[in-house]
Amino acid sequence: MGYADTINRVMLGDFTGATDDEKASAAKELIQVCSVAASAVTIQPIPFLDTALLVPIQIGMVQGIGKVHGYKLDKKSIVEILSTFGASLVAQNVMMAAAKFVPFFGWVVTLSMAYALTYAIGEVSTFYFKNGRGTSQGELKSMFERIYKEKKTEKEDANRKNSSLKDRLEQLKEAKASGLLTDEEFERKKEDLLRSF
């Protein structure tokens, strides 16, 4: 199910009688779908366009999480909430634009940043709404920074690993194409490589 379908389903859903587990499940699905959508939109090459593409995803996610927990929020309220725990839109724009200027590796960093920022916003928003919006700004900021760093590192490692795997598979294909490996050797080495990742 795609990003828009998930947002619509949550926004049109009725969570008044939902259990805590059902609310947690809906919020978790929303966070995951929106985080993946956020990283996908950063594939475009223009440095300062990311925020314009990310903000609607993040606002929709926070609105959905608020709805799950019984809050109806307008966009202005959400922007204020985001700045409360350190996810200001200006800061996001500057960080992602700077990352795009790093040759080759910049896209890996930008994908990881977009995913991690969105995921952290979702997790902190869930905590914030679940606790009746009574959490201190310091606690929210600390939680946001911790989750952001964890997810960014996790995603960067995964992206590097995938990139490394792809490079090694290409090398095997080239070796086979140039006659250095037989079909059997290629298949055996490919299986060994895939098992090692």
The pLDDT tens digits along the chain (197 residues) read 577 788 888 888 889 889 999 999 999 999 999 998 888 777 766 666 767 788 888 889 999 999 999 998 888 888 777 777 765 656 666 666 666 666 555 666 777 888 888 999 999 999 999 988 888 888 988 898 899 889 988 887 876 676 666 666 777 777 677 666 688 877 877 777 666 65
Q: Is residue 161 part of a domain?
A: no
Looking at the domain assignment, is residue 135 inside a domain?
A: yes
CA–CA separation, 159 and 180 (whole Å):
29
* Contact by Cβ (8 Å): 118, 54: yes
pTM of the model: 0.74
Asked whether residue 17 is assigned to any structural domain, the reply reads yes
- Contacts with 76 (C-beta within 8 Å, 6 or more apart), sequence order: none
DSSP 30-80: HHHHHHHHHHHHTTSS-GGGHHHHHHHHHHHHHHHHHHHTT----HHHHHH
Flag whether 26 is in a domain: yes
Does residue 141 lie in a domain region?
yes
Structurally, the chain folds into a number of domains equal to 1
Whether 168 is in a domain gets the answer no
100 falls within a domain: yes
Q: Give the domain range for residue 110.
A: 3-155
Q: Is residue 160 part of a domain?
A: no
